[in-house]
Amino acid sequence: MDLSLLRSTLEELGQPRFRFDQIWKWTAGGAAGYHEMSNLPAALRDELTARVPFSTLSELRRASSSDGTDKLLLQTADGRPIETVLMRYKDGRRSICVSSQSGCPLTCTFCATGQMKFGRNLTAWEILDQALALRRLDALDHCVFMGMGEPMMNLDNVLEVCRRLPDLGITNRRTGISTVGWVPGIDKLTESDVPVRLAWSLHAPEDALRSEIMPVNERYSLDEVKAACDRFYERRRKMIFVEYVMLGGVNDSVAQAKQLADLLEPWRYKINLIPYNPTDSMYDSSSQGAMEAFRQTLEDEGYNATIRLIRGRDIDAACGQLAAKAANPKLKQRVGV
């Protein structure tokens, strides 16, 4: 919902200020439309239906995984495709993975989104409407900006959404913003008033390899990104999550685990090892044995290191797989559209 348009429309209609709060409370609580808002006059509900679209996005396709994950393919008013994901866990968590851009301009070689044509930054309301669409499916309590796009390149809109997420049940301390290492965005987040968590998509322990698999490293080196992350830690005193996708024979050796341990500090960084999910790229996933040896090496060096549980791989909803494939006519058969 475009909350700016909602507010201006209510003012134009001469409605009292509390109407905005009433409507937002219904929307954040999972209402399916204005027709459910029983404490609004019927004439106002009809007027809003005609003048303020309940969502800035339209749903093109929904896929459900055998593990309880749901993925939505959404489209903006100007035809930009977006994917967003709801992950359900056995411990009761309901976590959403939200996109900040349609496509991504940074072309990491292992990521399906990087293979898309970049569209544009999403507006705050297009980002928020992803969360609202998922809220209509289930109660929510965690959010990661780890979907399509680089959130730090669209940080003002991302932070605007973060300020609204607590109304959906997602507190700031349960919200994380992931970056491949966009230093200006990290510094801007550090100085912001929104106390969310920071996650760094690292994926290689030294510059030469990182530049090979992540071209952004040519712009912001490991030392530059780490310095920005350290500034975040010094200001916020919040441990930083490191995401490290495990690519078989590329970045998964015990020696590379020791390099990673030497690069970081265990009191500042928690390391999350991510099994590589197929994206039609040149890579294979690390073996379970290699991942466990890597994790154990980090643990021996004093780190809290875990191997991420895979969610939604069978519907191309796992980490690195979001590519809005149904928006590409050549790929419709593959996704069953």
Encode 19-54 in three state secondary structure: HHHHHHHHHHCCCCCHHHCCCCCHHHHHHHHHHCCC
Residue 110: the pLDDT is 84
Residue 324: the pLDDT is 58
Report, as ranges of residue numbers, the positions in the chain whose pLDDT lies below 50: 317-318, 320-322, 326-337
Q: How far apart (Å, rounded) are the C-alpha atoms in residues 246 and 40?
A: 52
Residues 100 and 124: beta-carbon distance below 8 Å: no
**C-beta atoms surrounding 60 within 10 Å:** 16
Q: What is the pLDDT of residues 34-81, one digit of tens each?
A: 999 999 999 999 999 999 999 999 999 999 988 889 999 999 999 999
**C-beta atoms surrounding 228 within 10 Å:** 23
Question: What domain range includes position 43?
Answer: 1-54
Please report, for the domain that includes residue 74, its CATH number.
3.20.20.70
Which residues neighbour 93 within 8 Å (Cβ) at sequence distance 6 or greater?
A: 87, 141, 142
Residues 231 and 214 in one domain: yes
- What's the total number of domains in the chain? 2
- H helices of the chain, in order, are 3-12, 18-28, 42-51, 124-135, 155-164, 183-191, 207-213, 222-236, 254-263, 288-300, 332-335
Q: How far apart (Å, rounded) are the C-alpha atoms in residues 163 and 25?
A: 14
Instruction: Quote the pTM value.
Output: 0.90
For the record, the structure tokens of 189 come out as: 């987040």
* Residues assigned a catalytic role: 83, 319
Residues 26 and 105 in one domain: no
Residue 68: the pLDDT is 87
Residues 19 and 124 in one domain: no
Closest to 156 in 3D by CA, of 195, 123, 182? 123
Residues 24 and 112 in one domain: no
Q: DSSP character for 247?
A: B
